[in-house]
Chain A
């Protein structure tokens, strides 16, 4: 039992910290409106200068090899332990730095694990260099929590597959180059036995991407239509009809992506706010309820961090933390909700202020968070789905 980092991990943490402090503009974290746990903010997209900065920063990460921190060395990765990945993820999220995406975080590791040699040759180098971005093509209008209900098909035709169907909630599809797409290759088989994974070029004829403006007024989501889209067979990832299995195992790769560092940052900002803000002539920090709420959030965050490090610890020990990862996702996203709720309560009428004004606390982050946190407990497996996983897979409770 040990609740501290090794010297090697401390050194690595300092290295990442120094890198972030040197390479990111100092006002970067303040300009990012990302709410911890939320999926809705896309401020990058709205400011060309930020996009340029983000691209330059990602190039530096690629040079450092940190875009592919988890990958095996023979594919240009760092092959760092999960604990080191967790340390990295924590700091990247604390600074809200552009970091791992779908390509480097999910598609790359999946291809390395399940892909054919041809897949690896085609996709690993450009992904490792940070040259291509992918979007996640899982959800469909009638397949949200029930992913197995998806209807998009990919039918063999000569040297191609022909794809028909619709995806939805496709985050950043309009800013990406390719879809990391799940489709049914055997429509008659049971869903988990008839699904395959593909990489599909956004520019293929028959692909239509339509924006879905989210609750924050941002264009983060899309709906994407596939109308007889031809995909070369070499874009099938791994084996045909093994997609559901790959998809489930790929969840391993995103287990630590819970934005934990952003919670710590937000809590610090909230503490700084209540120390300076006045209510009825007294510092807000003297209010008994405010003190209780801040301490409550700090305590929950401390516990959430324990779940976070525990997940990394298990992965490093070769254990499969499927249930524990669900618990981690659940505690973090519920904290996202709680942090927004309590922050709004603490700010009272000032919590309504969204735009730039001398009266707006914390750059209007709190009301944005109040909107964005809705997505936290809904996206990437709702809280209810996570509870089902904990109960059914973890505790062995029957489904019927």
Chain B
């Protein structure tokens, strides 16, 4: 047991923080909330230059290698400053599914572009009326000469408006509710049959409604087995959940740090509010939430990196961190009082991101149910 980062990991974390400190003030999220792209291509190029977009991608595909812990470290650093970028949708939800399920041709065609920062992706899973379980996917992928025709609507597709490729889950067989019959497709984001509508969200995170109207996809663009994507989807979901928790750990840490600083500086009744035990106890409770989130997240990341069974860990991680996200940012606001309620303050950006993270790919109740199943209930 060693709870500390290795020397290399510490260096990575520090360099990520240094870069983001210079390039990405937490307020950038607010500044880009109505931006056409929603991210700064100049900053994205620099991230690619640092090798971030190549993390987890093998060197043979222009990546820098690296494992899930390194990915988590980068995500945590981005979470600390609410970094608006296509990183999550492209690396976690693009490169990772391709690495997990792609054939050699697909990897060769897509991974170098992702690693170089030239190819952006999005991941289309959830449909209207659906929550997080892939079994409920209804979108039809009808067989056609040497391919499929996709028709239906996807929701909560982050960065679809800028995506070159959209990885889309659809049904090639069975009925909604069946595990069998699900298939993943790599769809060209610029296909004329695709209509992307930005949806305004709490956390300014550029999610989209994606409407596919008879979109033709070649058989070569099936990602993984036909009818057999359920297991891959679960695997993607579990990994994405841990990755999101890593981002949340950064988000929580900053909200917490801001609160400690504020409690020391803000005077009322001629003394710092941090000298009142009511405030101290809020902060002590936040320590348990933040540290606990960090430990359980990095444990799950470590298991993924070591190729150990991790599904239960991933769900425990999301259940704890999702709840902690809400509790910590709520208390952070309580400690900040009225000033935190102002648009120009950054704290509410963390409050927003925490909530978005909490519901991403399964809220705490959803993941507790998965934990219950893993416990044999």
CB of A307 within 8 A of CB of B295, answer: yes
Measured between beta carbons, the chain B residues less than 8 angstroms from A296 are 319, 368
CB of B284 within 8 A of CB of A302, answer: no
Query: B298 interface residue, CB < 8 Å from A?
Result: yes
Name B1's closest neighbour in chain A (CB-CB): A309
Measured between beta carbons, the chain B residues less than 8 angstroms from A298 are 316, 371, 375
Query: B130 interface residue, CB < 8 Å from A?
Result: no
Within the complex, the shortest CB–CB distance from B169 to chain A, in Å, comes to 26
Measured between beta carbons, the chain B residues less than 8 angstroms from A391 are 274, 277, 280-281, 283-284
> Would you give the 0/1 interface string for A363-400, flagging 1 where the beta carbon is closer than 8 Å to chain B?
00000000000000000000010111011101111111
CB of A295 within 8 A of CB of B372, answer: yes
A2-B302 in contact given A296-B319, A296-B368, A306-B295 (Cβ < 8 Å):
yes
Please, how many angstroms separate the alpha-carbon atoms of A339 and B263 in the complex? 32
CB of B320 within 8 A of CB of A397, answer: no
Q: Mark the stretch among B212-220, B286-294, B345-353 that contacts chain A.
A: B286-294
Partner among B263, B284, B291, B313 whose Cβ is within 8 Å of the Cβ of A387: B284
CB of A395 within 8 A of CB of B283, answer: yes
Query: A331 interface residue, CB < 8 Å from B?
Result: yes
Measured between beta carbons, the chain B residues less than 8 angstroms from A288 are 369
CB of B377 within 8 A of CB of A394, answer: no
Query: B9 interface residue, CB < 8 Å from A?
Result: yes
Partner among B296, B313, B371 whose Cβ is within 8 Å of the Cβ of A295: B371
Within the complex, the shortest CB–CB distance from B16 to chain A, in Å, comes to 16
Measured between beta carbons, the chain B residues less than 8 angstroms from A310 are 1, 3, 295
A302-B287 in contact given A309-B3, A398-B274 (Cβ < 8 Å):
no
**Residue of B284, B292, B303 with most chain A CB atoms under a 10 A cut-off:** B284
Within the complex, the shortest CB–CB distance from A374 to chain B, in Å, comes to 19
Query: B309 interface residue, CB < 8 Å from A?
Result: no
Query: B285 interface residue, CB < 8 Å from A?
Result: yes
CB of A2 within 8 A of CB of B1, answer: yes
CB of A1 within 8 A of CB of B375, answer: no
Within the complex, the shortest CB–CB distance from B2 to chain A, in Å, comes to 4
Partner among A291, A314, A331, A399 whose Cβ is within 8 Å of the Cβ of B368: A291
**Residue of B279, B283, B295, B302 with most chain A CB atoms under a 10 A cut-off:** B295
Measured between beta carbons, the chain B residues less than 8 angstroms from A392 are 280
Within the complex, the shortest CB–CB distance from B13 to chain A, in Å, comes to 11
- Which positions 186-235 of chain B face chain A at CB distance < 8 Å? none
- Which positions 134-161 of chain B face chain A at CB distance < 8 Å? none
Please, how many angstroms separate the alpha-carbon atoms of A309 and B292 in the complex? 12
Please, how many angstroms separate the alpha-carbon atoms of A100 and B291 in the complex? 29
Query: A292 interface residue, CB < 8 Å from B?
Result: yes
Measured between beta carbons, the chain A residues less than 8 angstroms from B2 are 1-2, 313
CB of B277 within 8 A of CB of A302, answer: no
CB of B316 within 8 A of CB of A302, answer: yes
CB of B377 within 8 A of CB of A306, answer: no
Partner among B271, B283, B303 whose Cβ is within 8 Å of the Cβ of A398: B271
CB of B299 within 8 A of CB of A3, answer: yes
- Which positions 3-45 of chain B face chain A at CB distance < 8 Å? 3-6, 9
Partner among A302, A388, A400 whose Cβ is within 8 Å of the Cβ of B296: A302
CB of A291 within 8 A of CB of B316, answer: no
A292-B369 in contact given A392-B280, A398-B272 (Cβ < 8 Å):
yes
Within the complex, the shortest CB–CB distance from A86 to chain B, in Å, comes to 9
Query: B129 interface residue, CB < 8 Å from A?
Result: no
Measured between beta carbons, the chain B residues less than 8 angstroms from A295 are 319, 368-372, 375, 377
CB of A394 within 8 A of CB of B287, answer: yes
Name B274's closest neighbour in chain A (CB-CB): A397
Query: B275 interface residue, CB < 8 Å from A?
Result: yes
Query: B328 interface residue, CB < 8 Å from A?
Result: no
> Would you give the 0/1 interface string for B295-319, flagging 1 where the beta carbon is closer than 8 Å to chain A?
1101100110000000001001001
Measured between beta carbons, the chain B residues less than 8 angstroms from A317 are 4
Query: A224 interface residue, CB < 8 Å from B?
Result: no
Partner among A292, A294, A303, A396 whose Cβ is within 8 Å of the Cβ of B320: A303
CB of B376 within 8 A of CB of A386, answer: no
Measured between beta carbons, the chain B residues less than 8 angstroms from A113 are none
Please, how many angstroms separate the alpha-carbon atoms of A5 and B4 in the complex? 15
CB of A313 within 8 A of CB of B3, answer: yes
Please, how many angstroms separate the alpha-carbon atoms of A13 and B303 in the complex? 21
Measured between beta carbons, the chain B residues less than 8 angstroms from A387 are 277, 280-281, 284-285
CB of B296 within 8 A of CB of A303, answer: yes
Query: B264 interface residue, CB < 8 Å from A?
Result: yes
Within the complex, the shortest CB–CB distance from A183 to chain B, in Å, comes to 29
- Which positions 155-173 of chain B face chain A at CB distance < 8 Å? none
Measured between beta carbons, the chain A residues less than 8 angstroms from B291 are 307, 327
**Residue of A2, A294, A390, A395 with most chain B CB atoms under a 10 A cut-off:** A395
Partner among B9, B264, B283, B365 whose Cβ is within 8 Å of the Cβ of A292: B365
Within the complex, the shortest CB–CB distance from B138 to chain A, in Å, comes to 25
CB of B377 within 8 A of CB of A331, answer: no
CB of B280 within 8 A of CB of A396, answer: no
Query: B69 interface residue, CB < 8 Å from A?
Result: yes
Measured between beta carbons, the chain B residues less than 8 angstroms from A4 are 1
Within the complex, the shortest CB–CB distance from A370 to chain B, in Å, comes to 22
A306-B292 in contact given A271-B377, A291-B368 (Cβ < 8 Å):
yes
Within the complex, the shortest CB–CB distance from A226 to chain B, in Å, comes to 33
Measured between beta carbons, the chain B residues less than 8 angstroms from A325 are none
Please, how many angstroms separate the alpha-carbon atoms of A309 and B291 in the complex? 13
Measured between beta carbons, the chain A residues less than 8 angstroms from B369 are 288, 291-292, 295
> Would you give the 0/1 interface string for A233-254, flagging 1 where the beta carbon is closer than 8 Å to chain B?
0000000000000000000000
Within the complex, the shortest CB–CB distance from B366 to chain A, in Å, comes to 10
**B residues adjacent to A (C-beta < 8 A):** 1-6, 9, 69, 260, 263-264, 271-272, 274-275, 277, 279-281, 283-285, 287-288, 291-292, 295-296, 298-299, 302-303, 313, 316, 319-320, 365, 368-372, 375-377
List 12 additional contacts besides A300-B320, A313-B3, A330-B284; criterion CB under 8 Å: A295-B369, A295-B370, A295-B377, A299-B316, A303-B292, A303-B295, A312-B1, A313-B2, A314-B3, A388-B280, A395-B280, A397-B272
8 A-B residue pairings within 8 Å (CB atoms): A291-B368, A291-B369, A292-B369, A295-B371, A387-B277, A388-B280, A397-B264, A398-B264
The 7 A-B residue pairs whose C-beta atoms are closest, nearest first, are A391-B280, A306-B295, A387-B284, A295-B371, A291-B372, A295-B368, A390-B284
**A residues adjacent to B (C-beta < 8 A):** 1-5, 83, 271, 274-275, 285, 288, 290-292, 294-296, 298-300, 302-303, 306-307, 309-310, 312-314, 317, 327, 330-331, 384, 386-388, 390-392, 394-400
